[in-house]
Structure 1
Amino acid sequence: MNEDTINNNVGSIRISNDVVAIIAGVAATEIKGVVGMSGGITGGITELLGMKNLSKGVKVEVGDKEAIIDIFLVIEYGSDLAKIGKEVQENVKASVENMTGLNVVNVNVNIQGISMPKEQKPETEQK
């Protein structure tokens, strides 16, 4: 587990990559139109993950004072993908920087899928 270490005159503070990933995942799902996080492409299968495991759809590279974040999302059908992608980038960057003090260099948004609306079954007519 990689960690970011911040040294000060009292001691050091370590921030786990997993913590940064969870912050980024929560920030991404706050954006309207984001249905969920995608587990990325693992063996050719992309799975939709719920709120319980937000760090699975996030890859984080943390340096001494900087971070690069890759996010894998599933977006609601009919949404403006470019607009949602930009909002996710801005929200993730702001949230991670505010909570960790790291400088977020890049937030790469990867839209892995579109969630189609569920068709409502027509009610059968009773005779």
Structure 2
Amino acid sequence: MEIIKNSDKGNLIISHEAISSIAINAAKDVDGVGSFSNRPVDVVSTIKKGSLKVMSPVRLTQNGEDMDVSICINLLPNKKIKTVSENIQTSVREAIENMTGKKVNKVNVIIAGIDIPESGDSKAPLTSEE
């Protein structure tokens, strides 16, 4: 999906990758976002496109002139899902609308997991029982 704007001065094309980058940059600044997860593979669209490349954590669908955005994240521990999700929705919607001029109908936040830090020192030698 691309956003195409035509004017008497020329054409403007905003690629799917650029919009995805806007969404990722907006979401990563939200407190509680640990990392991004590759979204679940949509088998039907993958077969139609003929590509098995790594999928982006952002999925865009066009609904007439407007768009819907889905973003997959991993949450930090001890963060409230509702609060983080609402903050992501607001941040992503505002960033895309301000930078592209297109209306965003929905921002779906998919919590794929929780980033749990490893406990202990990973460089410490392992001890075994004798």
Q: Give the percent of matched residue pairs that are identical in Structure 1 and Structure 2.
A: 26
Structure 1 partner of 2:57? 57
Q: TM-score, normalised by structure 1?
A: 0.79
Rounded Cα–Cα distance in structure 2 between residues aligned with 1:18 and 1:64 = 20
Structure 1 partner of 2:6? 7
Deviation by residue 1:71-106 (Cα, 9 ceiling, x = unmatched): 000000110110000000000000000011110011
* Number of corresponding residues: 112
CA contact 2:35–2:115 (8 Å) conserved in 1? no
5+ long unaligned stretches in structure 1: 44-54
Deviation at 1:42, TM superposition (A): 3.8
Deviation by residue 1:28-63 (Cα, 9 ceiling, x = unmatched): 1110110111002249xxxxxxxxxxx811001235
Higher strand residue share:
1
Greater mean alpha carbon deviation, residues 58-67 or residues 2-11: 58-67
Deviation at 1:115, TM superposition (A): 1.1
Structure 2 partner of 1:52? none
Q: Partner of 1:20: helix, strand, or coil?
A: helix
Structure 1 partner of 2:71? 71
Which letter does structure 2 place at the counterpart of 1:102?
K
